[in-house]
Amino acid sequence: MKPISWRGFYAIVDPEHCGGRDPVEVATAIVEGGCAVLQLRDKRGDDAETVRLARALREVTRDKVPFVVNDRVDIALMCDAEGVHLGQDDMSLADARKIAGSLCIGISTHDHAQALAAAEAGADLIGLGPVFATATKENPDPVVGLALLADVVKAVSIPVVAIGGVDVERSTKAYGAGAHLCAAISAVTRADSPREAARAMHRAHAQVTEAGR
């Protein structure tokens, strides 16, 4: 399934943001609650740990939702993921295409120029943010806001993920600005019930879509 059809909650599981809980259990609860895609983000684990976790999350998501690995094309391929998501400082899109095979490739962008460049270079999906202020990253980029989000959605023909400081209330604003998906980490992984938090995040897209008809 290509990202062009992905809509709703873009769940990101990071072991550092699971409140001390098993990330596999957190991911299982999220998938049960509802999401359009699940991504592993593991900035601190060594390669062996990240591969083990990626393979475990691949089994959680298999035949349910697409699975994406952050940063690492090699690990995405090893665990039979649907996609890989790359930052501005990661491997270039052109280089990733040489080894990615059929993997979908998403690119993080932080302004209009980066978003257009990623789309023109052949990205399958764009992450744009931070749309709102975020505490998940130690040194976040400047907040881009809803107006830029709306402009980017209109300027590209691939799905745009709103990321950064997103919760249920803010996701409705991002969907209203045209975002195809909204990503969140701690708002769901640290919630008392990741299952219910994911359900609320995923339902927000349908509610905004229905209200706009």
* Residue 108 main-chain phi, psi, to 5 deg: -80, 135
Strands (E), 99-207: 104-109, 125-128, 160-162, 181-184
With contact defined as beta carbons under 8 Å apart, do 163 and 181 qualify?
Answer: no
* Cα dihedral 202, 58, 27, 19 in deg (nearest 10): -130
Identity of the amino acid at 118: A
Best CA proximity match to 34, nearest among 210, 181, 209: 181
Residues labelled catalytic: 41, 108, 137
**Residue 207: C-alpha distances to residues 4, 106, 138, 168, 200 (Å):** 20, 26, 33, 11, 10
